Structure 1
């Protein structure tokens, strides 16, 4: 976590010095959204329903594990979901169908993890409309699309908007970038279909998800298992590394040292020159480290567990969506 991000959530006074830049950010983003509402900038609709899974803050809010859960949930409802993503941290310019063997430096760490874990086809592109069309061309059986982190991508028309909040850190100091962590003002939450708090409660959310950890898995095959009570070095390059630290401690591991890098850090072997094993990292970081991993490197998989309020709200939203599109997939 960098110093600026720490200041946002600890509400340091000097963040106020950046408020003039936040005002400029608000002006530009508000004008852009107004142009879409007025039809000056065109919104484009895909022929299948589009679900946005996003947030109004920068940093990790649990979108990736929730998206993996959502894919399973949609399949249970009779849908055939696909995923589109910007591919943050990757180098893709034109739409690309992600495979499990792709390089995270090419397609991004989160899309690669989604390709490995979700069981859904995923296309990355900076242009989400183009990504959606490419996905439907390559996988015509897809009848619903999840847009990963596309809440502010207003050119793509959407049917449902789902926002994840950090239930522990909340909205920080409540200010827009760069004085605070917000991409949009809190009032934006009133216009979305479902707000979910991750790992804690929030008065702004309709329900919660919890992230539960599975057993630690080795990055390399045939490695010895890593058991709880082992003293480990903790490694993370995610938006909220302290949540990962809490998960590791809850799983029973004894943390000798923490090594935190910024979110989406492009790990290289040299980053670990001064870090001796056993190492425990996040699953998102593991996809970037596997090619130079050592036998005593492990990752901690997590899965999202929504509460009954989240599931009930999603059921109601999909019932309405099924009626709107004249299909039976979203209807019980």
Structure 2
């Protein structure tokens, strides 16, 4: 239902407009209070790059963070990542991730980024504390924040917005009548716009999510998707249909498509009950980081990488690298 409302296919959004106007009033007031100096903005001693979005729901932000960190690492830039750690609850903050850190402590996205990039990652509800922890640890040239476009308490040197190229901005209204955290005019003030799928507009960088081989959660073995049949697909991400569409584009027609809430915690019994004998449970990598500790033999995940247009991507990296000098 919420997808129909946010996409503009249902006029029920009209009932939610008063709440949206209040949301817009509050969010604009917060932004203005920082711009006028009524609230204090903290600036790090290192350059800060924010990767965020204007809408709620999955846009492909985390794959872009991973792409950016790995691309900068290949060019010799030492990158640290900070996150709010949504979905996790640590004993104390800031939390510097290590190989034993669980998603229950740090949240799924920070653990995924840490495992994929091996970059230092720090988590804290107050992002400035996470940045301070990375600075204190040393050996960092630049900070990338996973989300936080609307977190104006942290000064930033470069802003990247990721847009779902198919859904774009839906009906264009603020939450909850529409998907917007900020209105589309905010794009005029960011440094780069990356569009995941669909058709990019002028000055937008095209991106596609590129799936690799499926990986077994228990053994780490890799296998091409073409080798699978009898697949039950599950996704607990911001926009589960994208995952199911990716599987179909790769020739997999799932027996069942099971959507879960973003950042949802899973139990072993809950997931084991999803498949019968001879069936495979296929999930996203973001789900997999929460399930490895109790994985069954027939559980697999599909990693995806952000593929950006070559020339614009190279220009973007060069612009960011100059911040380190």
The answer on whether the counterparts of 1:223 and 1:296 sit within 8 Å (CA) in structure 2 is no
Q: Deviations over 1:38-87 (max 9, x none)?
A: 11101111001000000000111111111111012212333100000000
Cα 1:265–1:30 change in 2 (3 A) is same
1:289 maps to 2:288:
no
Q: 2:99 & 2:202 partners in 1: Cα distance?
A: 36
Q: CA deviation at 1:122?
A: 0.2
Cα 1:165–1:205 change in 2 (3 A) is farther
Q: Deviations over 1:287-332 (max 9, x none)?
A: 111122110010001111110353144145236535xxxx2xxxxx
* 1:201 match: 199
What pairs with 1:145-164 in structure 2 (closer than 5 Å)?
145-164=143-162
* 1:330 match: none
Q: Deviations over 1:111-163 (max 9, x none)?
A: 0000100120000000011110011112x110100011010110100000000
Q: CA deviation at 1:5?
A: 3.6
* 1:22 match: 20
* 2:80 match: 82
1:178 maps to 2:180:
no
Cα 1:278–1:243 change in 2 (3 A) is same
* 1:299 match: 301
The answer on whether the counterparts of 1:232 and 1:255 sit within 8 Å (CA) in structure 2 is yes
What pairs with 1:20-99 in structure 2 (closer than 5 Å)?
20-92=18-90, 94-99=93-98
Q: 2:102 & 2:258 partners in 1: Cα distance?
A: 23
The answer on whether the counterparts of 1:74 and 1:81 sit within 8 Å (CA) in structure 2 is yes
Q: 2:45 & 2:99 partners in 1: Cα distance?
A: 27
Q: Give SS of 1:234's match.
A: strand
Q: Give SS of 1:65's match.
A: helix
Q: CA deviation at 1:227?
A: 4.7
Moved more, 14-23 or 269-278: 269-278
Q: 2:175 & 2:104 partners in 1: Cα distance?
A: 26
Q: CA deviation at 1:235?
A: 0.6
* 1:108 match: 107
Q: Give SS of 2:242's match.
A: helix
The answer on whether the counterparts of 1:194 and 1:313 sit within 8 Å (CA) in structure 2 is no
Moved more, 110-119 or 272-281: 272-281
For structure 1, the residue ranges without an aligned partner over 5 or more in a row are 328-332
Q: 2:202 & 2:23 partners in 1: Cα distance?
A: 24
Using structure 2 for the length normalisation, give the TM-score. Answer: 0.93
Cα 1:205–1:257 change in 2 (3 A) is farther
Using structure 1 for the length normalisation, give the TM-score. Answer: 0.92
Q: Give SS of 2:289's match.
A: helix
Task: Calculate the aligned-residue CA RMSD, in Å.
Answer: 1.8
Moved over 6 A (4+): none
The answer on whether the counterparts of 1:170 and 1:202 sit within 8 Å (CA) in structure 2 is no
Q: CA deviation at 1:205?
A: 5.4
The answer on whether the counterparts of 2:158 and 2:320 sit within 8 Å (CA) in structure 1 is no
The answer on whether the counterparts of 1:196 and 1:205 sit within 8 Å (CA) in structure 2 is no
Cα 1:68–1:81 change in 2 (3 A) is same
* 2:262 match: 263
Q: Number of residues paired by the alignment?
A: 320
* 2:121 match: 122
Q: Deviations over 1:256-298 (max 9, x none)?
A: 1101111111112232254113110000000111122110010
